[in-house]
């Protein structure tokens, strides 16, 4: 059976991490997070702590991905280190939730920002606008699914351009904001003294970590990265550090441009900041810019997800045709097509709000378990010859696990319905696993039953 070639260099791998992390999260959650905290310095501190936690995860995944430099991410790690059923559930969740839903959410967000920026909502009836937004979201999913279906070279060229645009635009807006507008750094000393408690602090950090999600992106395509022992750790760590710096600077601009009580709870807080800096006309421009950001993230999700389904199908834990590599384009083309189809279903039948909360809980569980697997991998000596060992072992993985477990509890307390829905999605994969086990040939049952 053909396998994907190692064609992805350090620049492209780092771009994938950045594109996955800088999506809709920070532009939607920044004001909400501020509403959970007592003052501006708390906000900056929490975003910095979130970056440190993401970096801890990136360090841990540097070891996991170099011990097992294959396509698939948590599907590979959990299947080898614990039991194939856990790897299957990780892949199953990625299939249903982890990538198809974010693709749909990014597409729907793209439509929202584009329609707002072009003032189309003021031209047509509300019912027609809703339909047109769905149509545009479906079109953008189809466009980028087709693009990445046609090969990794073309797909990554476009992906790198989008990431470059994203970085240039963010840097340009932030620099223009600091240069052209007189900031009031006294705002940083404000202390609103809201009635924050442990739950409020936990919710703020949960939203921050959602904005940082994507720090592990490269692990899903480790089997296609050139010189994995060097490029996997560098891309994970460098991408995470760059995004952390972006987030802190972006939040600093917010907090020195507006009084803290005008920031708290505002969803479109960046639009409010830039309108305050540049004038009313920037409202439409900001909407279009955010739409570009979401397209970049959508493109990255489309690249990564199918590599998991490919790995599962190759192990007879998914539909067989998902393991096929296109004879011309050299990509898991059927997996790309499947993912795009599911994303379109989400676009048609879901809203951004429904997808946003549901995603977090499902995505938080498997990285925590994967990092726990580092202890098992070292004990068994798995991948010792290729591994880049995590710095600060065992403290670094232990801290990541403890923090992730705490956030899982907070998420369940605050949003039980969405959390239960995410858990139900994961558990539904268990009977699917045993059905596949039953209908798998005897030659492959050892793979399904043994870790």
The pLDDT score that the predictor gives to residue 149 is 78
73 and 232 Cβ atoms separated by less than 8 Å: no
**Per-residue 3-state assignment (H helix, E strand, C coil) for 205-230:** HHHHHHHHCCCCHHHHEHHHECCHHH
What distance in Å separates the CA atoms of residue 228 and residue 230, rounded to the nearest whole number?
5
Give residue 153's pLDDT: 63
Helix (H/G/I), strand (E/B), else coil: 100: helix
Which CATH class for the 10-449 domain? mainly alpha
pLDDT at 446 over 50: no
- Best-predicted range by mean pLDDT among 126-130, 286-290, 326-330? 126-130
| Phi, psi of 213, rounded to the nearest 5 degrees | -60, 145
Q: Can you name the residues that pair with 225 across neighbouring β-strands?
A: 8
pLDDT at 103: 86
Using CA atoms, how far apart are residues 231 and 157, in angstroms rounded to an integer? Answer: 18
Question: Which pLDDT score, from 0 to 100, does residue 221 have?
Answer: 77
| Residue-wise pLDDT tens digits, 352-370 | 666 766 777 787 889 999 9
pTM attached to this predicted model: 0.77
The rounded distance, in Å, linking the Cα atoms of 423 and 430 is 12
pLDDT at 4: 59
- Above 90 in pLDDT, residue 399? yes
Q: What value does the mean pLDDT take over residues 318-337?
A: 74
pLDDT (0 to 100) of residue 124: 75
Give the best-scoring range by mean pLDDT among 6-15, 64-73, 133-142. Answer: 133-142
Is a pLDDT exceeding 60 seen at residue 450? no
Query: Quick one: pLDDT at residue 447?
Result: 46
Residue 327 has pLDDT above 70, yes or no: no
Closest CA to 265 of 431, 45, 442, 32: 32
**Coil, helix or strand at residue 387:** coil
Distance CA(61)–CA(66), nearest Å, equals 8
pLDDT of 230 > 80? The answer is yes
């Amino acid at each position: 059976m053909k396998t994907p070639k190692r064609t992805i260099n350090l620049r492209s791998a780092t771009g994938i991490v950045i594109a996955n992390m800088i999506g809709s999260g920070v532009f939607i959650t920044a004001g909400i997070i501020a509403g959970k905290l007592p003052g501006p310095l708390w906000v900056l501190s929490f975003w910095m702590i979130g970056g440190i936690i993401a970096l801890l995860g990136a360090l841990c995944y540097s070891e996991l991905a170099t011990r097992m430099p294959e396509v698939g991410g948590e599907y590979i790690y959990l299947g080898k280190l614990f039991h194939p059923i856990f790897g299957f559930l990780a892949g199953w969740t990625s299939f249903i939730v982890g990538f198809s839903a974010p693709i749909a959410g990014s597409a729907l967000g793209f439509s929202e920002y584009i329609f707002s920026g072009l003032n189309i909502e003021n031209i047509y009836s509300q019912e027609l606008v809703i339909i047109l937004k769905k149509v545009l979201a479906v079109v953008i999913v189809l466009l980028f699914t087709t693009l990445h279906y046609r090969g990794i070279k073309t797909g990554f060229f476009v992906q790198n351009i989008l990431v470059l645009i994203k970085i240039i635009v963010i840097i340009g807006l932030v620099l223009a904001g600091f240069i052209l507008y007189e900031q009031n750094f006294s705002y940083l000393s404000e202390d609103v003294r809201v009635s924050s408690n442990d739950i409020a602090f936990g919710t703020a950090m949960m939203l921050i970590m959602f904005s940082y999600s994507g720090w592990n992106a490269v692990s899903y395509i480790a089997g296609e990265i050139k010189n994995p022992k060097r490029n996997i750790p560098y891309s994970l760590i460098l991408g995470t550090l760059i995004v952390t710096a972006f987030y802190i600077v972006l939040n600093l601009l917010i907090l020195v441009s507006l009084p803290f009580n005008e920031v708290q709870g505002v969803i479109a807080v960046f639009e409010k900041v830039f309108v305050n800096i540049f004038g009313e006309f920037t409202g439409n421009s900001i909407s279009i810019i955010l739409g570009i950001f979401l397209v970049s993230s959508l493109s990255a999700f489309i690249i990564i997800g199918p590599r998991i389904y490919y790995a599962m199908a190759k192990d007879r834990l998914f539909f067989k045709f998902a393991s096929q590599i296109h004879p011309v384009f050299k990509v898991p083309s059927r997996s790309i097509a499947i993912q795009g189809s599911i994303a379109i279903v989400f676009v048609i039948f879901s809203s951004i709000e429904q997808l946003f909360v549901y995603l977090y809980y499902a995505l938080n569980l498997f990285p925590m378990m994967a990092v726990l697997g580092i202890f098992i991998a070292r004990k068994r000596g798995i991948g010792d010859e290729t591994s880049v060992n995590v710095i600060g072992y065992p403290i670094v993985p232990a801290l990541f696990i403890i923090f992730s477990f705490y956030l899982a509890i907070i998420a369940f307390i605050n949003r039980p319905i969405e959390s239960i829905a995410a858990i139900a999605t994961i558990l539904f994969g268990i009977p699917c696993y045993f059905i596949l086990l039953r209908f798998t040939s005897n030659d492959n049952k050892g793979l399904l039953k043994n870790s």
